[in-house]
Amino acid sequence: MSTQQKKLLYLVHRIPYPPNKGDKIRSFNILKFLAQHYQIYLGTFVDDVDDWKYLSELEGYCEEIYAIPLKSFISKLRSLSALFGSDPMTVPYYKDKKLADWVETQKNRHDFDAVLIFSSAMAQYVTGSDWNDQHRVIDFVDVDSDKWQQYAQKKPWPMSWIYRREAETLCEYDKQIADKFAASLFVSEKEAALFASFPGVDATKVSHADNGVDIEYFHPENKYINPYNEDERVIVFTGAMDYWANADAVHWFATQVFPEVKKIHDNARFYIVGSHPSRQVTELSALPGVTVTGAVQEIRPYIAHAKLAVAPMRIARGVQNKVLEAMAMARAVVVTPQGFDGIVGEAGKEVVVAETAQDFAKAVCQFLNNPNSANDVGMLARKHIEQRYTWGNCLQTLLPMMERQHESA
């Protein structure tokens, strides 16, 4: 139990452990960082039954934890109610009376110095009039409304209509939350600038804290058993494979880019490494040279022993942790402009950015042709991560935002 006096209510839409997905990497490292300064009361959902065993991992960072199951089918049914009103579907998806009661109990029991909300759907628990005097900060992470708009452009009707509606309603909802809260946080300067540009948003209350990397955990000098065959020249993609933007990225690479690479490098192999691959992803394993691993116990060996990593994102918001992690492990990375968006770095030096399938294939082949070049780019990438993207450096801007005097600054 912590002896620190400051108290923080932290509400997260998904249990922030294990840090194996983009949002969980960020929410956990924020928790870990703020636990040095606050007694933390954590309220969260658990959407994967395998994650219940990790509650004990969080106890050392929290004064109290309240976790409840998120039942996907029921939540999806509940979210449909939004179609009859003006709320985004995301809000009823995360609405729960038991969590609301716990939050109210904590408010009556403790004098919180600050409230931090991770993901705008969790803001519904602290928006009543009795919370107006509370110092509230929200980490939106990404401008999700723009991501829904990108989805709408890629999908046929009626999903295009549903996604477009979600984009519009979520944008308005987020602006209302930002107006009520003392400060709004985003994952990059570019995300923050986009949100601050929206009509009605007070730009003086919008800031950002970059995602970082655990540079000791993702270290190129750590030794790992090679998970690949010795004669394979591996190109790797890592990420949660039930996430549509990731599925779209690997499908594009496997079908449009990789065949061109195979014409030149017959022993090239494309490994798709990540949990819960969708059917669209699993079917890619039927293509020559493509392997879909599903969940793996340890992701670092797959990065360490690959010739290069790719992030062929065509839909993206925020920062791609997969890019930062590969850079931290001194791997050369070929990435689309969307995948590099939000990362501060020099294209052509620390990563290679390519947009078309032809240019992407050319960049991949150049690294396969010249391993020394891949190593040089990888070492520059690692150095850049050490200088710019440690969690300690990235989260320093968070502390002043959590202080009440920031509200009147």
Q: Report the alpha-carbon distance of residue 11 to residue 181 in Å, rounded.
A: 14
Instruction: Read off the pLDDT band of 408 (50, 70, 90).
Output: very low
Q: What's the chain's length in residues? A: 409
Answer whether 332's CB lies under 8 Å from 365's CB: no
Vertex 46: Cα angle to 44 and 122 (nearest 5): 35
- Three-state secondary structure call for residue 187: coil
Give the relative orientation of helices 321-328 and 371-388 as an angle to the nearest 10 degrees: 110
Q: What is the pLDDT of residue 1?
A: 41
Concatenated DSSP letters for 259-301? Answer: HHHHHH-TTEEEEEE-SS--HHHHGGGGSTTEEEEES-S-SHH
Mean pLDDT value of segment 150-162: 93
Q: Which run of H or of E encompasses 44?
A: strand 39-46
Q: Report the alpha-carbon distance of residue 326 to residue 330 in Å, rounded.
A: 6
Q: What is the pLDDT of residue 316?
A: 84
| Domain locations along the chain | 7-212+391-408, 233-388
Q: Report the alpha-carbon distance of residue 139 to residue 116 in Å, rounded.
A: 7
Q: What is the pLDDT of residue 409?
A: 45
Same fold? 7-212+391-408, 233-388: yes
C-alpha to C-alpha distances, 109 to 65, 103, 117, nearest whole angstrom: 15, 10, 19
Burial status of residue 11 (CB atoms within 10 A of its CB: 0-12, 13-18, 19 or more):
buried
Q: Tens digit of pLDDT for each residue in 168-185?
A: 999 999 999 999 999 999
Q: Report the alpha-carbon distance of residue 205 to residue 222 in Å, rounded.
A: 41
Domain 7-212+391-408: state its class.
alpha beta
- 342: how many CB neighbours lie within 10 A of its CB? 24
Q: What is the pLDDT of residue 2?
A: 44
Rg (CA), the chain: 22
Mean pLDDT value of segment 364-370: 98
Which one, of 360, 154, 336, lies nearest residue 256 by Cα?
A: 360
Q: What is the pLDDT of residue 404?
A: 79
Q: Report the alpha-carbon distance of residue 296 to residue 205 in Å, rounded.
A: 41
Strand ranges inside 73-182, DSSP E:
114-118, 136-141
Mean pLDDT value of segment 219-245: 96
Q: Report the alpha-carbon distance of residue 102 to residue 11 in Å, rounded.
A: 11
Q: What is the pLDDT of residue 318?
A: 85
Cβ burial 306-338 (10 Å sphere, 16+ → b, else e): bbbbbbbbbbbbbbbbbbbbbbbbbbbbbbbeb
Q: Tens digit of pLDDT for each residue in 387-404?
A: 999 999 999 999 999 997
Which residues, 6 or more positions from 391, have their beta carbon under 8 angstroms from its beta carbon?
29, 32, 33, 212, 213, 214
Q: Tens digit of pLDDT for each residue in 33-88?
A: 999 999 999 999 999 999 999 999 999 999 999 999 999 999 999 999 999 999 99
CATH number attached to the domain at 233-388: 3.40.50.2000
Query: First-to-last CA distance in the chain?
Result: 33
Answer whether 116's CB lies under 8 Å from 139's CB: yes
Q: What is the pLDDT of residue 166?
A: 97
**Is pLDDT above 70 for 405?**
no
| Residue whose structure tokens are 């709320």 | 87
HSE at residue 186, side-chain half, CA atoms within 13 A, is 23
Q: Tokens at residue 34, please?
A: 């703020």
β-partners of residue 39 are 7
Q: What is the pLDDT of residue 406?
A: 55
Which residues, 6 or more positions from 97, have their beta carbon under 8 angstroms from its beta carbon?
none
Q: Which run of H or of E encompasses 11?
A: strand 7-12
